[in-house]
Amino acid sequence: MEMVLSRCVVRSFRPDDAPSLARHANNRSVWINLRDQFPHPYSLADAERWIREAAALDPETHFAIAVDGAAAGAIGFHLKKDVRRRSAEIGYWLGQEFWGRGIATEALRAVTGHAFGRFDLVRLYAGVFEGNRASMRVLEKAGYTREARLRKGITKDGRTIDLVLYAMVRE
């Protein structure tokens, strides 16, 4: 899959993305706003493992955000099952040197459209850690609506904090 956008390209991961992915992911400022399953420090081996896992998904739901040909971050969604089968959780991260350029918003809009267009989904949602105002703004600019604040909903880096829930619903 490949979507060429004005600020970036959202595409399938490639094995040669590993060095760039590891370089951008190995950043505490990126890690602090992601789930604990995202390693820190983030090594080349972590990037290679992630690329293999993403490539093995069928259907493909996790993609590289590439800037100037190199992987600068990632975006993807997890399809839910059972009674939540028409919902998916979406998430993304971008290397710090690319923050504030509209890249994440552009990628999120594109992948949201892809998810709704390819799958029988009526709801995409994302949880944002309290204090991550930049990610909240990305979601809002992409058309997501703030639905809830889950008080003390997560624990990250030794702190129990709120999780803010955003969603886009297709009628």
List, for residues 115-139, the tens digit of each pLDDT value: 999 999 999 999 999 999 999 999 9
Please report the pLDDT score of residue 11 as a whole number.
98
Number of domains in the chain: 1
Rounded to an integer, the average pLDDT of 15-39 is 98
The answer on pLDDT for 39 being more than 90 is yes
* Mean pLDDT (whole number) for 27-43: 98
Q: In the predicted model, what is the mean pLDDT of residues 52-75?
A: 97
Query: In Å, how far are 11, 53, 76, 80, 146 from 61, measured between CA atoms?
Result: 10, 11, 5, 12, 23
Residue 16 predicted with pLDDT over 90: yes
CATH number at residue 130: 3.40.630.30
- Using the predicted structure, report yes or no on whether residue 171 has a pLDDT greater than 90: no
Q: What is the pLDDT of residue 83?
A: 98
Rounded alpha-carbon distances, angstroms, from residue 165 to 7, 9, 102, 118, 134: 26, 27, 21, 24, 14
Cis amide bond preceding 15, omega within 30: no
Domain ranges, residue 17: 2-169
